[in-house]
């Protein structure tokens, strides 16, 4: 089933999602990788995470300066491997995050945290950075740019961002585990 969601996501929206659903998101999403996750837990988040969508991605950004202010243009943005965030993700989910976007799935601790916090893991297709960037209407802000462009938290206004697959739902279903069981990995 295909679903269109608007951020911030509600718990009711998340509970209606099932593993295997196709999702498109409109509104605001945030990029964050491992260093940003770690810093969120150490210092608090620079953005409101209630109902938020975090995209595990390191974008390519073009920066120009106008009137002493930076103007950012996203050139490409694709998913990074989510397992890098395993040490932090369950604690970040407790801060109100409703959805994670990435590739490759996450560990059992994160799966349990998704269930406990009514959240989902959405799989993005690797190699589709040029496709995903077409859904980005605006780079709204850059946070913690001192971490470097790939590790900063980028606030993005998106429209019909996807396609994304619900790979781990809020009920504990995990498509990655189902595939491993079928092929006996």
Residue 185 has pLDDT above 70, yes or no: no
CB 106 within 8 A of CB 121: yes
Residue 63 confidence (pLDDT): 83
Residue 58 has pLDDT above 90, yes or no: no
Residue burial 4-30, b: 16+ Cβ < 10 Å; e: rest:
ebebbbeeebbeebebebebbbbbbbb
Domain that holds residue 25: 2-183
- Is the pTM value of this prediction over 0.85? yes
**Which positions are annotated as active-site residues?**
37
Q: pLDDT > 90: what percent of the chain?
A: 80
130 Cβ contact partners less than 8 Å away, ≥ 6 residues apart: 76
Tell me the pLDDT tens digit for each residue of 76-101.
898 999 999 999 999 999 999 999 99
* Lookup: tokens for 4: 């269109």
Give the number of domains in the chain.
1
Tell me the pLDDT tens digit for each residue of 136-153.
999 999 999 999 999 999
d(CA 130, CA 172): 31
Q: Which residue has the higher pLDDT, 126 or 86?
A: 86
Average pLDDT, the chain: 93
We report the CATH number of the domain holding residue 51 as 3.20.130.10
Indicate the helix (H) or strand (E) that contains 35: helix 34-43
Confidence grade of residue 125 (pLDDT, cut at 50, 70, 90): confident
Tell me the pLDDT tens digit for each residue of 149-180.
999 999 999 999 999 999 999 999 999 888 88
């Amino acid at each position: 089933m295909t679903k269109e969601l608007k951020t911030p996501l509600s718990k009711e929206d998340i509970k209606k999602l099932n593993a295997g659903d196709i999702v498109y998101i409109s509104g605001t999403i945030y990029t964050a990788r491992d260093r940003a996750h770690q810093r969120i837990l150490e210092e608090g988040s620079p953005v409101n995470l209630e109902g938020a969508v975090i995209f595990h991605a390191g974008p390519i950004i073009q920066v120009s300066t106008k009137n002493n202010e930076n103007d950012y243009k996203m050139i490409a943005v694709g998913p990074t491997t989510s397992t890098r965030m395993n040490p932090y993700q369950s604690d970040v989910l407790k801060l109100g995050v409703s959805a994670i976007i990435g590739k490759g799935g996450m560990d059992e601790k994160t799966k349990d945290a998704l269930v406990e916090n009514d959240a989902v893991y959405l799989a993005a297709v690797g190699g589709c950075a040029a496709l995903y960037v077409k859904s980005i209407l605006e780079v709204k802000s850059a946070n913690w740019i001192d971490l470097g462009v790939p590790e900063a938290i980028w606030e993005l206004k998106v429209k019909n961002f996807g396609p994304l697959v619900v790979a781990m739902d809020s009920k504990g279903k995990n498509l990655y585990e189902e595939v491993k069981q079928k092929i006996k990995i």
